Amino acid sequence: MDSFCSPILIIFLSAVFMSSSISLATSSSTYENFLSCVSTHSEPSNPISAVLYTPTNSSFSSLLSSTIQNLRFLSPRAHKPLLIITPTQNSHIQAAVICSRDNGLQIKVRSGGHDYEGLSYRSNVEFIIIDLRNLRSITVDTANKAAWVEAGATIGEVYYHIANKSNTLGFPAGLCPTVGVGGHFSGGGIGTLMRKYGLAADNIIDAYVVDVDGRILDRKSMGEDLFWAIRGGGGASFGIIASWKINLVPVPPTVTVFNVSRTLNQGATQLLNKWQYIANKFNEDLFVRAVSIVTSGATKAESTILVMFQSLFLGSVNGLLPLMQQSFPELGLKAQDCTEMSWINSTLYFAGYTNGESIDVLLNRTLQPKLFYKGKSDFVTQPISITGFENIWKELIAGNSSPQIIMDPLGGRMSNISDTAIPFPHRAGNLYNIQYYMYWQARGTNTTKDHLQRMKEIYKFMSPFVSSSPRAAYLNYKDLDLGRVDVRNTSYTEASVWGNKYFKNNFKKLAVVKNMVDPTNFFWDEQSIPPLS
Ligand SMILES: Cc1cc2nc3c(=O)[nH]c(=O)nc-3n(C[C@H](O)[C@H](O)[C@H](O)COP(=O)(O)OP(=O)(O)OC[C@H]3O[C@@H](n4cnc5c(N)ncnc54)[C@H](O)[C@@H]3O)c2cc1C
Ligand SMILES: *[C@@H]1O[C@H](CO)[C@@H](O)[C@H](O)[C@H]1NC(C)=O
Ligand SMILES: *[C@@H]1O[C@H](CO)[C@@H](O)[C@H](O)[C@H]1NC(C)=O
Ligand SMILES: *[C@@H]1O[C@H](CO)[C@@H](O)[C@H](O)[C@H]1NC(C)=O
Ligand SMILES: *[C@@H]1O[C@H](CO)[C@@H](O)[C@H](O)[C@H]1NC(C)=O
Ligand SMILES: *[C@@H]1O[C@H](CO)[C@@H](O)[C@H](O)[C@H]1NC(C)=O
Ligand SMILES: *[C@@H]1O[C@H](CO)[C@@H](O)[C@H](O)[C@H]1NC(C)=O
Ligand SMILES: *[C@@H]1O[C@H](CO)[C@@H](O)[C@H](O)[C@H]1NC(C)=O
Ligand SMILES: *[C@@H]1O[C@H](CO)[C@@H](O)[C@H](O)[C@H]1NC(C)=O
């Protein structure tokens, strides 16, 4: 399995882990006050009580675990939320915000549940979950090349509904269909179209957000500072995004994909070394990522590295071959390595569906196999030498387990957008992004501990090869190893430890905006933006 949204794995089950969950001791008065508060803020025609699940409700556990994608956080020891609310209209979100605030409860908001650290559904303090699964309508307006997307939708649903209306419009976002737009768009959103059109967050043109006072604001009423912050700064620090308006982008009726793999004996190291110099400079219609995995042999000596070059080209094979011949002849790409298809079929392809599956799989919200996993990220600003790669391979092969290393090329439009246009700062000067992604499939005595430790070792090992001061990281590959807090009164200095990595010079502006819109830090989590006056 090469892509982390491939369907090959066994799905693990869940209810067992949840059944004996414990709850933080909650004063019954907080609970009752909350319930009576939401009922007074409810419209009689559409009461919030109909979408409110208490722990005694027989659906509570399955609802809670349904989109817990990372099995590390599906544990009997995890604190349960006091309540789960599944709004069917924005007024439910508004009531939940007002009543949580007035009763000193933390809110965690969940869209697709793909947060790498589970921050959308777990906490150490008394909290409720607002799960946006029912708010996921998508309205595509092909005449104006735009769409309104409710925050509980997945990117697969977005792709599907665009393609349902037009075969020449698309949207630049991530590769796995089950990722939610609530987290993904507010954290950036990198994918196969980014060299041509930038991030998902670069293509947001309006939004509805529920603020700390329970008001619902659009771009005009929230102002440009808050609108800036929620496009890459992480929504959870600023409010609850109810819906996004996105700008659709042109795609040709025919695109071309390839997936060419080479082992070390087949020259993978030299190819990857060369790739670093050209992948960020290619014509912006051409995206070629590189994914390396360890393929284990019977003995360590027989293990090797496989590097997969996976590509989307916005055009036909006839357009692609000369470009590759000119810039990357070493790969030896042939017409028979390439497949022409529609853009929507390419979204299936990159999700690992290469056997003629129907595009209906994009609508399946439980497609993603649940795994135990850990991700980390880096940005590379100087090409890694051949010797550097040889040392990296040695380190990867030596361990009992090693992450996939997913290298996504930047450049093109990514370099044309200013570092300060939105909070995502990793633009010109960066060659590519690295994601280290490791998964495992069982909860052994030390399994999780050992894998997490291994990820730390690899991350340390990689430090000479990647960006420094700060060692940059990508918010959507959230990593609590970079620093965390467990209290609401996080100081700006404490938060800078991770804030500077994710946002570089934009961190300060994020903290200033935070102070304008949520000075008491109601919307907080283990790695949120603190207010700075
Ligand atoms: C299998 C997999 C594949 C991935 N592929 C890619 C990829 O190709 N490209 C890429 O860039 N990233 C990718 N990611 C990372 C992904 O973009 C982030 O994990 C993203 O934040 C997930 O969004 P979500 O809504 O599914 O997650 P959630 O866990 O629901 O939310 C993530 C964070 O956003 C907050 N949030 C969610 N909804 C809202 C809202 N409406 N308002 C305010 N805050 C909100 C949550 O509280 C939490 O802090 C992938 C992750 C996984 C697990
Ligand atoms: C669980 O809560 C939902 C939503 O409020 C409600 O519709 C359902 O009847 C409840 N189920 C039980 C068994 O109480
Ligand atoms: C659009 O969706 C409708 C309803 O799901 C379906 O019947 C129709 O075939 C789809 N059209 C296209 C072009 O995908
Ligand atoms: C790419 O090729 C590798 C190895 O040949 C294979 O394991 C992987 O599933 C392929 N990926 C896609 C998206 O086709
Ligand atoms: C997309 O994939 C489906 C299923 O394999 C196939 O029937 C269809 O012809 C493909 N369309 C294009 C334009 O590639
Ligand atoms: C969604 O995908 C999962 C995993 O492949 C599968 O078990 C489930 O049946 C699918 N659901 C639907 C509605 O097709
Ligand atoms: C980036 O900017 C250069 C110079 O202004 C321009 O030629 C190029 O087309 C731009 N590329 C993208 C993808 O916007
Ligand atoms: C788990 O780790 C502990 C401490 O590192 C060690 O003592 C123990 O032997 C390990 N258990 C197994 C089953 O490997
Ligand atoms: C935050 O509050 C805790 C007590 O709740 C206190 O111990 C800690 O010093 C405070 N931290 C800051 C940065 O103010």
107-132 pLDDT, tens digit each:
999 999 999 999 999 999 999 999 99
Look at residue 297 and tell me if it is in a domain: yes
Examine residue 197 and state whether it is found in any structural domain, yes or no.
no
Residue 243 clears pLDDT 80, i.e. is over it: yes
Whether 413 and 277 map to the same domain: the answer is: yes
Query: Is 188 part of a structural domain of the chain?
Result: no
Q: How far is it, in rounded angstroms, from Cα 234 to Cα 252?
A: 32
Q: pTM for this structure? A: 0.95
Please tell me the residue having the least CA distance from ligand 8 atom 9.
Answer: 446
Mutation probe of ligand 2 site: the residue of 57, 61, 85, 131 with most atoms within 8 A of C-beta: 57
Contacts by 443-451 with C-beta closer than 8 Å and gap 24+? 443/71, 443/372, 447/372, 448/72, 448/372, 450/400, 450/401, 451/372, 451/374, 451/401
Q: Average the pLDDT over each of 65-79, 369-383, 420-434, 512-526 and give the range with the smallest value.
A: 65-79
How far is it, in rounded angstroms, from Cα 349 to Cα 403?
A: 22
Which CATH number is 407's domain given? 3.40.462.20
Distance 414 CA to ligand 7 centre (A): 10
DSSP 8-state secondary structure symbol assigned to residue 238 = T
pLDDT classification of 238: cutoffs 50, 70, 90: very high
Pocket flag, ligand 5, residue 70 (CB < 6 Å): no
How do residues 144-189 score in pLDDT, each as one tens digit? 999 999 999 999 999 999 999 999 999 999 999 999 999 999 999 9
Task: Grade residue 17 by pLDDT with cuts at 50, 70 and 90.
Answer: very low
Is pLDDT at 13 greater than 60 in this prediction?
A: no
> What mean pLDDT is predicted for residues 26-35?
82
Q: Is any ligand 7 atom within 6 A of the Cβ of residue 412?
A: yes
Answer for the pair 153, 206: CB distance below 8 angstroms, yes or no.
Answer: no
Task: Name every residue whose Cβ is closer than 8 Å to that of residue 99 and which is 6 or more positions away in sequence.
Answer: 34, 37, 38, 41, 105
Instruction: State whether the beta carbon of 413 lies less than 6 angstroms from ligand 7.
Output: yes
- Nearest listed ligand to the Cα of residue 485: 9
Cis peptide before 470 (omega within 30 of 0): yes
Boundary residue ending a domain (474, 495, 512): 474
525 Cα: distance to centroid of ligand 2 (angstroms): 29
Percentage of the chain with pLDDT > 70? 95
- Domain assignment of residue 498, yes or no: no
Region of poorest pLDDT, from 19-33, 281-295, 484-498, 506-520: 19-33
Whether 124 and 263 map to the same domain: the answer is no
pLDDT at 325: 97
Q: What is the mean pLDDT of the chain?
A: 93
Q: Are residues 20 and 80 in contact, defined by beta-carbon separation less than 8 angstroms?
A: no
Backbone angles phi, psi at 121, to 5 degrees: -145, 10
Domain stops at, among 474, 491, 511? 474
Cross-strand bridge partners of residue 169: 250
Residue 115 CA, ligand 5 centroid: distance in Å: 32
Give residue-wise pLDDT tens across range 89-102.
999 999 999 999 99
Say whether 409 sits in a helix, a strand or coil.
strand
Specify if 376 maps to a domain.
yes
Is the confidence at residue 19, as pLDDT, over 80? no
Kindly state whether residue 145 falls inside one of the protein's structural domains. no
Boundary-marking domain end, from 66, 97, 131? 131
Mean pLDDT on 344-362: 95
Pocket of ligand 9, beta carbon within 6 A: 487, 489, 491
Q: Which atom of ligand 2 is nearest to the CA of 49?
A: 5
Supply the pLDDT for residue 444: 81
Best of 110, 181, 230, 522 for a ligand 1 pocket test (most atoms within 8 Å of beta carbon): 110
Does some domain include residue 49?
yes
CA dist list (Å): 292 to 270, 389, 396, 397 = 13, 11, 10, 12
| Ligand 2 pocket test, candidate residues 53, 85, 86, 128, most atoms within 8 A of CB | 53
Atom of ligand 1 minimally distant from the CA of 242: 41
Average pLDDT over residues 197-218: 98
Q: Is the pLDDT of residue 77 over 70?
A: yes
pLDDT for position 9:
38
The pLDDT score that the predictor gives to residue 4 is 59
What's the structural domain count of the chain?
A: 2
Pocket around ligand 2: residues whose beta carbon is below 6 Å from it? 50-53, 57-59
Which residue's CA is the nearest one to ligand 2's atom 10?
Answer: 57
Band (310; pLDDT cuts 50, 70, 90): very high
Pocket test for ligand 4, best of 2, 307, 310 (most atoms within 8 A of CB): 2
For position 120, which CATH number holds? 3.30.43.10
Q: Report which ligand 8 atom has the smallest distance to the Cα of 444.
A: 13
Domain containing residue 446: 255-341+371-474
Atom 14 in ligand 8: residue holding the nearest Cα: 446
Looking at ligand 4, which atom is closest to the CA of residue 349? 13
- 271 part of a folded domain: yes
